[in-house]
Structure 1
Amino acid sequence: MKRKFTAVLVLGISFLISCTNKQEEIKLQHQDITEMVFASGALEADDQYNLTAQTDGYLIEMNLEEGTIVRKEQVLAVIDNDQNIINSKSAVELHRFASENAKSSAPALQEVEAAIEAAEVKVKLDQQQLERYKRLYESNSISRIEYDNANLMLTNSESVLNALKQKYRNQQIIAREQEVIRQYTSKTGKVLEKQNRITSIRPGKVYMKKKQLGDYVRKGDVIAVIGNPDSIFARLNVDETGMAKLKIGQTVFIKLNTHVDEVYKAFVKQILPAFDEASRTFIVKAYFEKTPEFNITGTQLEANIVIRTKKNVLVIPRVYMNYDHKVMLKTDRKIVKVVPGIVSGEWVEIKKGLNAGQTIIKEAP
């Protein structure tokens, strides 16, 4: 393995020497030049979303395949999570009991109500007793102590009655609170039970199936990718150095990795303002003038965004100019510093420093 690597390295060095010994030259001329911003990216469907699991469990039913069209709220998968079902049924029963306890016919409330009725009778009897003792006291038939004891007995009876009434009100509040809590728990249980059935958010096409029947999934796992089949766009990753030049409506020429001989025309429709941390680029959406027949999402692509075009300007190949914007003339091997203009993929505009008809060489200054 080591011998094979050494042979390749020697061939590479030989090739470099032969190139440097051969002097390349070009005669300057005028031509049109187009400035472009390069971007990589992938095809993506409009309204694309991930169909995700909302609970843990095994996939016991799968009703989707790549390329199939799904309706809104169609059940696409079912997760076997018995705990959600058990909790839901239990919550429904507890809510029913809480509702019964909140009614006036509930045993706890009836018990307090019976005690209130007895206390009301006792108060009434004590009131009658106090009135009788008052007349006897006024006629000096009983002592002051006996009258005061009758008055105290009525006061105690009234206190007991008021306490029982307050207890009844408190019992009602607690019962209603429990009913509300159990009702909320019951609704939550139904929601959790419903999460066993995974449904589509909106109609679309299944572009990618990421789980299979029988797989164990956790909450948040992506089961499939669904999008709008009638609208495919190019999601472009643009370096921040080129963002200042981009505008809505600019023309984009796109090559798909699967169709390298085809060039598709598109237009910049949306420039997302936020920096994408995952790709360390800005995201630009370009929509095709004519949607390609090959519209599988995730297809990798390369794109050139047209910034501007200049007609009949002096240009040289980019490889003939070094990083200091210097080139070498053929006549006397003089090094000249130029003022570049717009830059395309292979060419650079020369605004000052050279004239048409001059010949420059590629050999480094």
Structure 2
Amino acid sequence: MKYIVLTLLSFLLLSSCSDKKEKIFPERMPLTESVYASATVQPDSLYQAYSVVVGILDKIWVEEGDSVSKGGPILQITNTSPELNTENAKLALQLARENYSGSAAVLSGIRDEINAAELQLKNDSINYFRQKNLWDQNIGSKVEYDNRKLAYELSQNNLNLLQQKYNRTKNELETQVRQAENNYKTSMTNTSDFTITSKINGKVYAIYKNQGEIVTTMEPVAAVGRSDKFVVELLVDEVDIVKLKIGQQVFITLDSYNSEVFEGTLDKIYPRKDERSQTFKVEALFAEPPATLYPGLSGEGNIIIAEKNETLTIPKEYLIDDTHVLTDDGEKEVSIGLQNLDRVEILAGIDENTAIYKPEE
């Protein structure tokens, strides 16, 4: 009799404790699984402009927020050395061209010498062959014949040497002209390096230097990006990156637009992990962007990786170690599928008629 009373009391106590626990039943509802990411809005093709030369910032052609066309000037750096080098290269080029084809060309003098040598050769040739004909007839002296022959051969050699000198000088002058042209082009390129221009059609978002400051090659001087297209940079935890694919739907909320939700599409996945934050960067494009956007606007993004129109779900807080739930018959093993921040899909183990209890913390 005493044993029966104790058993009854234990049963009543367990029943009383069970009644005090929160009891619910699994529900069928739509479920979407997504990957969370922090979001930052940036202009498309945003880049930092650097100078390739060192100098003093002399002029700022645009202001922050101004539109700029591709090739349009942004900043002007001054340095007198490149200007002097360009002027010297220009003078050297003019001299080389004058020597080659101008009124005082070196080749003209050699050409005149060749003409004179040709006349001398013609004269010596006539005298030689006349004397040779006489000598063949045993008329005249041997000395006179030898002199005429020697003069003819010397004239031939002199003409050949002058022609070789002409060709050699012409090649040298042509080479000097080409070298002077290259030096002038190089100096012109160096001079153009002192004007920093835009690489795209867009907007100047930042200028990091003031007029009169020293500009080096190590520090950016401006930030330029497109004004008609913005991207959303998302930082995704490394445990979630393998779940992402190009084209997945993204829901974006921005702090500047309160609770308004914007739709987008995953457009790019960067393969390199940031070792400091242990995250990967991905980019999304707005389906319909907000009317006003600024670089650096922050918010949150949820990338949809799976969804079902209807499935059996329970609140996440009712799971025990992600594998069990507490029922009237004690702990029961379950298989789970999709999950979001609040709920998880039940694939097997319990059904809609199974009462489950919230585990004690």
TM-score higher than 0.5? yes
Matching of residue 261 in structure 1 with residue 258 in structure 2 = yes
Which AA in structure 2 matches 1:339? Answer: S
Aligned to 2:130: 132
The aligned residue for residue 326 of structure 1 is 323
Aligned to 2:15: none
Q: Distance in 2 between matches of 1:169 and 1:322?
A: 97
Q: In structure 2, what is the equivalent of residue 112 of structure 1? A: 110
Measured against aligned partners, the alpha-carbon deviations of 1:174-218 in whole angstroms (never above 9, x if no partner) come to 212222222232223223222222233444332223222233222
Q: Secondary structure at the match of 2:227?
A: strand
Q: Which amino acid aligns with 1:206?
A: V
Picking from 201, 215, 218, the partner of 1:217 is 215
Aligned partners of 1:152 and 1:23: how far apart in 2?
Answer: 133
Distance 2:142 2:235 in 1: 101
Partner of 1:343: 339
- What is the identity percentage for the equivalent residue pairs of Structure 1 and Structure 2? 28
Amino acid at match of 1:91: A
C-alpha displacement of 1:299:
2.7
Q: Give the deviation of 1:147 after TM superposition.
A: 4.3
Question: Are the counterparts in 2 of residues 207 and 296 from structure 1 also a CA contact under 8 Å?
Answer: no
Deviation at 1:145, TM superposition (A): 7.5
The structure-2 alpha-carbon separation of the partners of 1:246 and 1:292, relative to structure 1 and needing over 3 Å to count, comes to: farther
Correspondence for 2:51 among 29, 50, 53: 53
Report what 1:165 is aligned to. Answer: 163
The structure with more radius of gyration: 2
Measured against aligned partners, the alpha-carbon deviations of 1:284-315 in whole angstroms (never above 9, x if no partner) come to: 3321423253x221233321012332133222
**TM norm structure 2:** 0.80
State the alpha-carbon separation in 2 of the partners of residues 281 and 143 from structure 1.
Answer: 105
Amino acid at match of 1:289: E
Mark the runs of 5 or more structure 2 residues left unpaired by the alignment.
Answer: 1-19
Distance 1:313 1:155, change over 3 A: same
Note the 1:148-187 alignment, pairs <5 A: 150-187=148-185
Q: Secondary structure at the match of 2:228?
A: strand
Q: Structure 1 residue 34: deviation in Å?
A: 0.6
Post-superposition shift, 1:140? 1.9
Q: Note the C-alpha offset of 1:168.
A: 1.0
Quick one: structure 1 residues 352 and 104, their matched pair in 2 at CA, closer, same or farther if it must change by over 3 Å? same
RMSD: 3.2
Structure 1 contact 251–265 (Cα < 8 Å) conserved: no
1:235–1:286 contact (8 Å) kept in structure 2? no
Unaligned stretches of 5+ residues in structure 1: 1-21
Matched, 1:28 2:26: yes
Does the CA contact (< 8 Å) of 2:69 and 2:200 recur in 1?
Answer: yes
Cα distance in 2 for partners of 1:142, 1:112 equals 37
> Does structure 1 conserve the Cα–Cα contact (< 8 Å) formed by 2:256 and 2:297?
no
Q: 1:76-131: per-residue Cα shift (whole Å, max 9, x none)?
A: 22112222211111111111111111116334223322332332233123212321
5 Å matches for 1:231-242?
Answer: 231-238=229-236, 241-242=240-241
Q: Secondary structure at the match of 1:351?
A: strand
1:267 partner SS: strand
The answer as to whether partners of 2:23 and 2:355 remain within 8 angstroms in 1 is no
Which digits, 9 at most, give the CA deviation of each residue in 1:252-295, with x for residues without a partner? 22133x438334312216235x52465762533321423253x2
Q: How many residues align?
A: 337
State the alpha-carbon separation in 2 of the partners of residues 331 and 222 from structure 1. 67
2:284 paired residue number: 285
**Paired position in structure 2 for 1:6:** none
